[in-house]
């Protein structure tokens, strides 16, 4: 099916009802497509919407970049497009220090933890549902020949692990819900992987720079 849109879609996600959501950073909006017809789900005044994720309860998570290009935040919307809460700043003595710099991809695991990737700072940050930081992951050099990492897409499996694409090293990182490195998936064999998702059977669907989508099984049940 081909769906005509009026602006420039960037990231997309599909909820449990089969409705497709996508972000349009130029007009600061999130669109929802039902029956092939796009409609405005919400507008993000002062913020550029980027990555998007549909949760198991059909809430919608959006990574948003400030118009002044200073920092990012995470916004949670209910199924009607109403903003439920925003995760933006640190806690306690760092209340006015932004948690995120330039966030793109986002996902939520079965624990309710939210994982995001920051390509500029080359790190992954996971926060609890209440916004408190769970962990920060910057790669695992000791178990590989890699000396530098670049993180892009992120997803989560049935064990609450996070799966993260690394286009620089042609691999996927798998870390547990506490940020502990577990293993690499096909290091050096996945051509510049970017966006990814993990399905109900724990298969990871990952896009490659050569214009293909690979479907990989990486854990045993």
What's the average model confidence in pLDDT over 16-43? 91
User: What's the pLDDT at 25?
Assistant: 85
Q: Which of 176, 177, 165, 167 is nearest to 204 (CA)?
A: 165
User: What's the pLDDT at 21?
Assistant: 96
What CATH class is the domain 1-100? mainly beta
Domain limits of the chain? 1-100
93 pLDDT exceeds 60? Answer: no
Average pLDDT, the chain: 92
C-alpha dihedral (56, 64, 88, 84), degrees to nearest 10? -40
Q: Which of 69, 68, 60, 154 is nearest to 115 (CA)?
A: 154
Q: pTM for the whole thing?
A: 0.93
User: What's the pLDDT at 37?
Assistant: 85
Which of 93 and 138 is assigned the larger pLDDT?
138
Question: Over the stretch 31-87, which tens digit does the pLDDT of each residue have?
Answer: 999 888 889 999 998 999 999 999 999 999 999 999 887 899 999 999 999 999 999
Q: Which of 94, 129, 123 is nearest to 111 (CA)?
A: 129
95 pLDDT exceeds 70? Answer: no
What's the average model confidence in pLDDT over 9-35? 92
Q: At a CB cut-off of 8 Å and minimum separation 6, what does 217 contact? A: 202, 203
């Amino acid at each position: 099916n081909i769906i005509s849109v009026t602006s420039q879609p960037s990231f997309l996600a599909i909820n449990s009802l089969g409705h497709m959501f996508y972000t349009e950073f130029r007009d600061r909006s999130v669109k929802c497509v039902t029956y092939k017809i796009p409609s405005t789900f919400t507008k993000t005044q002062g913020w550029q919407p980027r990555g998007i994720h549909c949760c198991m309860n059909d809430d919608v998570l959006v990574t948003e970049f400030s118009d002044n290009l200073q920092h990012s935040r995470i916004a949670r919307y209910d199924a009607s497009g109403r903003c439920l809460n925003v995760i933006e700043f640190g806690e306690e003595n760092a209340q006015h220090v932004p948690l995120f710099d330039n966030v793109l991809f986002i996902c939520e695991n079965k624990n309710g933890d939210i994982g995001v990737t920051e390509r500029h700072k080359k790190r992954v940050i996971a926060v609890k549902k209440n916004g408190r930081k769970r962990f920060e992951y910057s790669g695992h050099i000791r178990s590989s020949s890699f000396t530098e990492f670049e993180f892009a897409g992120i997803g989560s499996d049935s064990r609450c692990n996070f799966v993260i694409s690394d286009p620089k090293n042609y691999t996927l990182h798998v870390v547990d819900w506490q940020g502990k490195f577990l293993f690499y998936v096909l290091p050096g064999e996945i051509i510049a992987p970017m966006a990814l998702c993990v399905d109900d059977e724990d298969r990871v669907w990952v896009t490659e720079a050569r214009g293909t989508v690979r479907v990989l099984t990486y854990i045993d049940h």
